Structures are given as structure tokens and as C-alpha cells.
Amino acid sequence: MPIDPADVEICLAPDEAAEPAEPTDADQAAAEAAGGAGATPLPMSAPIVQTSLFSFPTFRSLVKGLADERHHTVYTRGRNPTVQALDRKLAALERGDAAATFASGMAAVSAVLLGLLEAGDRILFVNQVYGPTLELARHLRRFGISHDIVLDLGPDAVEAAIRRETRLLWIESPGTMLFRLADVAAIAQRAASHGVITVLDNSWATPLFQKPLEAGIDVVVHSASKYLGGHSDLLAGAVVTSEECMERIFDRAYMLNGGILSPFDAWLLLRGLRTLPARMRQHEADALAVADFLRGHSAIRRVHHPIRSESPSPAEAGLTGTSGLFSVELVRGDFAGVEALIDGLRRFRIGVSWGGVESLVISPERGDNGAALEAAQIPRGLVRLSIGLEGADALIRDLDAALAASA
């Protein structure tokens, strides 16, 4: 499906922080001279409000601001106009009431878990989930928060894994590494019927290709270090949810954990959003072309791309498009085979993360972690590709040469 034109408009709109809150007398005079109200020229991009604090005209006005730091700029650990301009765009893209942005995706993950959970609660992880998120959950055991993992994605199996203490269901769809899809709307509905809060990590699809809140999910989390930023030059995270949920996350975790996004990084992210629709169209098309090539290759056992999902189909799962990250299983699935392919690639850079302009390659193989991979149901010889913007032909030629040399 084409990207929703409303989303393109949101991404391209001049940043709201660029509009002066109250025009000064000088603005007014300039507007009149230029032929009427609204004629004041505005910058296209938000000013970077690089300040730690905001001074108030009177003590009483400061007291008023301190009473509600979520809605007043008092201190940049709470609110900052550049960051707020970004938050408004992300909330609009996800069709949520409120958004907050963080210093990294993991800061966003931490804020959601610490903001919404109490000692004695359980988390239910659905699908293969980003490794550090699971590792954080393991640390939370010290605070009386435990978890379960369900890898059978059928709504019945997921519902059966909900226990009396389950307070929060955390889902990735597509999942990490294998990109398996779940019927997000059906799972959200089952969880809601048990009073369980649902959270979806939407980093892979971006709001352009999946709208979890519209499918009944309560909270969306992003690593904005991936596609939203899009240029491998910043770390950021985001949470989009209802006013009610955001109040808890903001009061209990955003301001107190302190992992907030700096105004400069918020500005970089606003800049990244401008090209998000154009970038995602190319990531999608080129990844599909590369996946098609690899599907027919004799050195490849299997391609794990969500476009191939049959039950649920991508549309049934809630995807309206696909991004540029997928994986392949090599026929020569030992560490040496993986190493030979990765080191043989020229256009793909070797590194962690994904979602940027440059194509990237990595594997979960470490040479000695077969048992851990098996426990997580990750097959041997898996290689993950992040398709950048170099063009599909150049990447296919590179893969073709490296596969021939490594087979």
C-alpha cells in the first residue's frame, strides 16, 4: 500500500516550534507592513532551544509551571520546545494523544517498564524480542518484576500464557532476527480482555507501515536511532500513548530517570523525519528486490522477510508496508561460513544497528553460543541484512560475488 499522504504531510510540515507563540509588537508591525496577519516569514526548521532552564517573569508564574512540568517549560529534563515539536510530530504519525522522546531506545523501554509496573507484576514477551529489552527484564527480577516469553504467536497460545500476575504484554511484530509476524489486533484484544497493558516496539515498521495504537495496542515504543533518525548519527527513543498512560510514564520515569533527548538530537530527528517517507519507499523496494534475488540462490537455505508470512499475512498482521531489514539462513551455516560471507561483502558495512543510509550486515553467531541460539529458536547460519540506499543492483552484485566466493 502507498504511504498515507497524511503521514507525508506530517513528516514534511514545518516544525511547530518554529511558530512564535505570541507575536511581538515588532512581528505585528512587520506583518501589517507585509500585507496582513500571518505574513511574518517563518523558519522551515525548528530553532534549537539549547537551554537547561527557562526563567519566569514572576515567582508566581514559576510556581504555576512547577505544578505541571509536563505542560510547562521549566527545566529541559521536563520540557523543551525543540523536543516538544518532535513529540507532536511523532504523536501525530502514530495517531496517539501524547509522545515523549528519550536519549535512546533503551531509555524509552526502561521508562515504559518502570513507569507502568509494580513489584509482583509479570511481563509477557511475545515473539523474538530485542535482546537488551529481555536483558533489562532479567535485571528487573531484583525489583520483584518477573517475565514469561511466548514464541507461539497464535492468539490462543498467547492468551494461554497470560497469568494472574501478568500486567503488561510486550510484543515485537515483526520479531527480531526472524521477522515473524503476529496478528497484533487479535492479541491486543485478548490482552485487553484480561486487563493487561499492551506495548509494541514499532522500530522495524515505523509509523508509516504499522499503526499499533489503531490496532488496539496501548503503548508504542521506538528506537529512533534506526529509521526515524535514519542517518546513523544519533541515538534516540520514543514512546507514544494515551494521555493517561503518558502521565504515569512522565511522572514516574521520564523526569526521574532523566534519560531525556537533548534539543540538538531532537532537531536532528526532526530533520530525519522530513525524508522518512522517501527513505522508507526506497528501503522497502530495494529490500524486496534483494530478498527476491537471495530466495533463488543455491547458497541460501531460507529468506526471513515478513512479506513471505502466510498466517498471518502482512496485511492481517497490521503491516501496510515493509522496511529494509531481513535475514537469510546460509546453507553453509557454521561460524566459518557466516564469517566468509560477511567478510566477502564490499558494499555492506559490518556493524550493529540498522535503518541508516549505508547497508549493514551482522549475524547472531558468535562461534560458541549455539545453545543460547537454540533456546531463542534462532537457526544456525543466520545473517541479517539492513538494506540502505545504495540501490538494489549494486547490493545484489555484491552479495552474488561474496556468496560465490564463500560457498
Ligand X SMILES: *Cc1c(COP(=O)(O)O)cnc(C)c1O
Q: What residues make contact with ligand X under the rule CB under 6 A?
A: 104-106, 130, 201, 203, 223, 225-226, 235, 237
Say how far apart CA 286 and CA 370 lie, in whole Å: 32
Nearest approach, Cβ of residue 135 and ligand X (Å) = 11
Helix axes 392-406, 276-295, angle to 10 degrees: 30
Nearest approach, Cβ of residue 249 and ligand X (Å) = 16
Say how far apart CA 166 and CA 195 lie, in whole Å: 9
Report the residue number, 94 or 159, with the smaller CB distance to ligand X: 94
Say how far apart CA 400 and CA 23 lie, in whole Å: 60
Percentages helix, strand, coil for the chain (3-state, rounded to 5) are 45, 15, 40
Report the residue number, 43 or 131, with the smaller CB distance to ligand X: 131
Report the residue number, 130 or 293, with the smaller CB distance to ligand X: 130
Nearest approach, Cβ of residue 221 and ligand X (Å) = 7
Which residue in the shown chain puts its C-beta closest to ligand X?
Answer: 105
Contacts 24+ apart (CB under 8 A), 215-219: 215/184, 215/185, 215/188, 215/318, 216/184, 216/185, 216/188, 216/189, 216/192, 217/171, 217/184, 217/188, 218/188, 218/242, 218/245, 219/112, 219/116, 219/245, 219/249
Report the residue number, 268 or 402, with the smaller CB distance to ligand X: 268
Nearest approach, Cβ of residue 383 and ligand X (Å) = 17
Nearest approach, Cβ of residue 156 and ligand X (Å) = 26
Report the residue number, 81 or 356, with the smaller CB distance to ligand X: 356
Q: Count, in order, helices (H) and strands (E) of the chain.
A: 17, 12
**Rounded to 5 degrees, what angle do the CA atoms 270, 323, 148 make?**
95
Nearest approach, Cβ of residue 159 and ligand X (Å) = 24
Report the residue number, 324 or 337, with the smaller CB distance to ligand X: 324
